[in-house]
Amino acid sequence: QVQLMESGGGLVQPGGSLRLSCAASGSISSILVMGWHRQAPGKQRELVARINSGGGINYADSVKGRFTISRDNAKNTVYLQMNSLKLEDTAVYYCNAARTPWDLYWGQGTQVTVSS
């Protein structure tokens, strides 16, 4: 069992920055991958970024060069630094962790709104 607690998110103007955090607790020793997904109204949930236990990283094409995912293993926390935010980044962002493809855990979701 894994529990995920998110923090960060909020309202920001275009071009601004936000940093999301997700702290994992519980049975965390065997977590292989942690990452972030997002879902905007009327759209499918999509992968934003993920990082595995060895440090390998994947980004969605839409956020490359603007977002950075990182992981602090000592604190069992994953971060998403979001820079140069655009209107189309507005969505609910969900932290997730996986020990296997069928053993998935999700955070509660945090709203990110980019608006002028």
Q: Give the pLDDT confidence score for residue 28 in this predicted structure.
A: 83
Name the token pair of 62: 């839409």
Q: pLDDT tens across 9-37, in order? A: 999 999 999 999 999 999 888 888 999 99
Q: pLDDT tens across 33-84, in order? A: 999 999 999 999 999 999 998 889 999 999 999 999 999 988 889 999 999 9
Tell me the C-alpha distance between 23 and 7, whole Å. Answer: 9
Q: Give the pLDDT confidence score for residue 74 in this predicted structure.
A: 83
Q: Give the pLDDT confidence score for residue 71 in this predicted structure.
A: 92
92: left (phi over 0), alpha (psi -120 to 50) or beta: beta
Q: Give the pLDDT confidence score for residue 17 in this predicted structure.
A: 98
Beta partners for 71?
78
Q: Give the pLDDT confidence score for residue 73 in this predicted structure.
A: 81
Name the token pair of 55: 């440090």
Tell me the C-alpha distance between 37 and 110, whole Å. Answer: 11
